[in-house]
Structure 1
Amino acid sequence: MSLPSPTELEAAAAIVYGAMPPTPQFSWPLLNEALGTEAWIKHENHTPTGAFKVRGGLVYLHALSRREPQVRGVIAATRGNHGQSLAFAARRHGLGAHIVVPHGNSVEKNAAMRALGAQLIEYGDDFQAAREHAQMLARRDGLHMVPSWHPDLVAGVATGYLELFHAQPDLDTLFVPIGQGSGICAALAARQALGLKTRVIGVVSEHALAYQLSFHARRPMEAPVGTELADGLACRMADASSLPPIIELADDIVAVSDEQVARAMRLYYRCTHNLSEGAGAAALAAALLLKNDPRVKGRKLGLPLTGANVDAPLLQRVLDEQPFRSVP
């Protein structure tokens, strides 16, 4: 499946900016000092839902309302930010939103989805189980199943990367966290649309390696999920739709541990006084891990802070520097 064209990205931007302004990108001196090079942070924690995915939900439901005007309700599986995105957009279109989350999901993300009007359903022990249950409910109840990856979602998310690239067109390396693939595909679409040479490197949790394994095997792979901290990266099975453009266009995929993510979250707080959830800090964690790598050392970096939706008790553990012992 091809990535959205420049024309499609322009149309997506018009939809997104009808609901929210562009988010800022800043270069923070203390972070630059920690990295030993110049980095630009794309603050997607400043969207109406505190995460980048709201852009994709806005574009997807705008297109759906015109493509299938008879639809009265949508359903999706999520660990939180995808669900908030759809609930936010569904309310703008007068649609019901049914969101399936695994048991033990973020308490505060669940509360945010309910506050946006979503009907929350808890099922299964991980995202994959929640997604399969959502698919069953969609068939049973006649709801539109919103996938985790779709060109409309990618087009919406790409508007944020276009903002970053327009502001800083000479970025050498961009790190992008990978959950189900819409974020990195959006970055690749934006780079392609502008004809840039920026290196795009995906970031996964070393406790959820499905996308890294799939990237190297060049086919969808499954891997156990054991991350305690980066729930937005807790993918057990790579999405077959998002994988082809990642395999073809991404420059590499690296893995970071929960401890490395925790360090990056602390740095964001101490250096910028911005909160980050685990997945939101993964790009910074990867840059710190590769600090002496030629793709980072002396390079101009792009680092999306993709979300700030972290539960208070978990954030307290991070700030207190308590250890994270992820499940193998």
Structure 2
Amino acid sequence: MTFVLPTKSEIASAAQIVYAAMPPTPQYQWQQISDALGAEIWLKHENHTPVGAFKVRGGLVYMQELLHHLPQATGVISATRGNHGQSVAFATRRCGLAATIVVPHGNSKEQNAAMRALGANLIEHGNEFQESREYAIALAEEQRLHMIPSFHRDLVRGVATYWMELFNAQPELDVVYVPIGQGSGICAAIAARDALGLSTRVIGVVSSHALGYKLSFEQKRKLESPVTTQIADGMACRVPDDGSLEVVLRHADDVVAVSDDEIRAAMKLLFTATHNVAEGAGAASLAAAIQAGAMLKGKKVGLPLSGGNIDHQIFAKVLQP
């Protein structure tokens, strides 16, 4: 079935849900970053949401629609590496529902603590996201919980609200770079661009240590790829989602890959130039823009700082000379 992108009016209705819980996030042109890239760089600060990442927007919209269509729902379950889980826990707490979140062993300690603080019942299972996801699906059936997927149209509707903020503020962007995990971010960017009738190029960014979406984009078919990234948890996708991949294949202008070392360099530049903390996936868009180099000279570029949730010990190592 063809995935239908959210319309302008649907994104506007999602914004009403989002803004009941949080204000719009800012977008700034940080001069040191613009100077470093030789382009006009606009940074969208999704690290300033109540959970430090863009995912909360999708969680709020999804939960509102769930209660509308299934008012008898009492509990939900999902799998995550962190930001999606925080968004689910934040939204369910506002709605009075119970949330169970499954994470892989070795997941971020600070992400786990944040999800527990928001009231989630946290379960550790598996060594990677896909194993956690499959276990969550089994638990959902066993315990009669509603399984929240990592990709869904209502999640995309919510996430698209931040892209509408950026595109409305800066409608003449030549290109935006969007990190890809399970795909809600890039699909939301495409939905907002198309809803506003803009010509901005949308380029997806994957980890060079998790190439599923890039290989699939290049070969025009779904391909799995092993995950070995050590810094970009939010991009640690082994199996592309069918719905988001369809949108990427139809509408993305390109998909590029950045290494862990390139991401670390981008995290460090973000901190030294703006004193904002970026997690690995949160800095991937800047890493891709740095990689593009002279191709962006004189261009107007939009980059989401899509999340700032990184354990302090890991971040301290990134900042070391």
TM range (shorter): over 0.9
Tell me how large the CA RMSD over aligned residues is.
0.6
What is the CA deviation profile of residues 165-213 of structure 1, one whole-angstrom value per residue up to 9, with x for unaligned ones? Answer: 0000000000000000000000000001000000000000000000101
Identify the residue that residue 18 of structure 1 maps to in structure 2: 20
Mapped to 2, the partners of 1:221 and 1:60 lie a distance apart of 28
Deviation at 1:217, TM superposition (A): 2.0
TM-score of the pair, normalised by structure 1: 0.97
The residue type equivalent to 1:319 in the other structure is L
SS across alignment from 1:286: helix
Identify the residue that residue 162 of structure 2 maps to in structure 1: 160
Identify the residue that residue 258 of structure 2 maps to in structure 1: 256
Identify the residue that residue 313 of structure 2 maps to in structure 1: 313
Q: Quick check: 1:2 aligned with 2:4?
A: yes
SS across alignment from 1:164: helix
The residue type equivalent to 2:70 in the other structure is E
Mapped to 2, the partners of 1:140 and 1:79 lie a distance apart of 22
Mapped to 1, the partners of 2:12 and 2:259 lie a distance apart of 36
SS across alignment from 1:255: strand
Q: Which runs of 5+ in 2 are unaligned?
A: none
TM-score of the pair, normalised by structure 2: 0.99
Mapped to 2, the partners of 1:176 and 1:297 lie a distance apart of 19
The residue type equivalent to 2:309 in the other structure is N
Identify the residue that residue 105 of structure 1 maps to in structure 2: 107
Identify the residue that residue 146 of structure 2 maps to in structure 1: 144
Post-superposition, which runs of at least 4 consecutive aligned residues in structure 1 deviate over 3 A?
none
Mapped to 2, the partners of 1:199 and 1:143 lie a distance apart of 39
The residue type equivalent to 1:316 in the other structure is A
Identify the residue that residue 202 of structure 1 maps to in structure 2: 204
What is the CA deviation profile of residues 19-62 of structure 1, one whole-angstrom value per residue up to 9, with x for unaligned ones? Answer: 00000000001011111111000000000000000000000000
Mapped to 1, the partners of 2:310 and 2:207 lie a distance apart of 16
Mapped to 2, the partners of 1:213 and 1:73 lie a distance apart of 37
What is the CA deviation profile of residues 85-128 of structure 1, one whole-angstrom value per residue up to 9, with x for unaligned ones? Answer: 00000001110000000001011000000000000000001000
Mapped to 2, the partners of 1:219 and 1:71 lie a distance apart of 36
Identify the residue that residue 64 of structure 1 maps to in structure 2: 66
Q: Quick check: 1:176 aligned with 2:208?
A: no
What is the CA deviation profile of residues 268-287 of structure 1, one whole-angstrom value per residue up to 9, with x for unaligned ones? Answer: 00000000000000000000
Mapped to 1, the partners of 2:214 and 2:11 lie a distance apart of 27
Corresponding residue pairs, total: 319
